[in-house]
Amino acid sequence: MELEIYQINGKKTSRKIKLDDSIFGVEPNDHAIYFDAKQFMASQRQGTHSTKERNAIVGSRRKIKRQKGTGTARMGDIKSPILRGGGRAFGPHPRDYSFKLNKKVKRLARKSALSGKAKDNNIMVLEDFSFENPKTKNFVDILNVFDVKDKKAMFVFPETDRNVFLSSRNLKKVKVIRAFDLNTYDILNHNKLFLLESSIKEIQKMFDK
């Protein structure tokens, strides 16, 4: 697959770049995509939720009423989960939600996500660029040129560019990421994927490892 290379002012250059079919032209595997996206979201969970069961409630252990002869159900102490202020039965506790996923499955999922974007013509290649100073307006101008101001857009750089990152930080629907940090969830979660020319080589290196 060959794509045109654009400048940040929206003009086409006279050059084209060929995308590796083994990365951008595979048959998407929905099952692998599901597992990789699920693992990513599970790893984002803090898992710090906690509740007090009856053994953690401060209160008397005295039996509220006698066992028999009252005409109502038996009742223990005031820590019972069925009483207001009592402990919670089977409540959540701090835990780690992350789980292991084979590298081959993750690799296939990323390739599937990239191939899906390429198939839908949602990948654009830009000439390498940077900003002299952090300025959000500079980044907004790029979004306006490519008509993605109201869409989710992700820009993939070969390495971290501090000025570009700071310029995009206040834009809610924009994400700037290194090629090495590409993941299935972010690829799927953005409408348009902008790859810098030199970042494509880094993506190929990542999959060659």
- Say yes or no: domain 2-46+98-208 is CATH 3.40.640.10: no
Dihedral pair phi/psi, residue 167, rounded to 5°: -70, -25
Domain spans, the chain: 2-46+98-208, 51-91
Place of tokens 């008509």: 147
Q: Along the 209 residues of the chain, how does pLDDT read in single tens digits?
A: 888 999 999 888 888 999 989 999 999 999 999 999 999 999 999 999 999 999 999 999 999 999 999 999 999 999 999 999 999 999 999 999 999 999 999 999 999 999 999 999 999 999 999 999 999 999 999 999 999 988 999 999 999 889 999 999 999 999 999 999 999 999 999 999 999 999 999 999 888 87
How far does Cα 193 stand from its chain's mean position?
A: 14
178 DSSP β-pair partners:
157
Q: Which of 119, 95, 112, 96 is nearest to 36 (CA)?
A: 112
Supply the pTM of this predicted model: 0.82
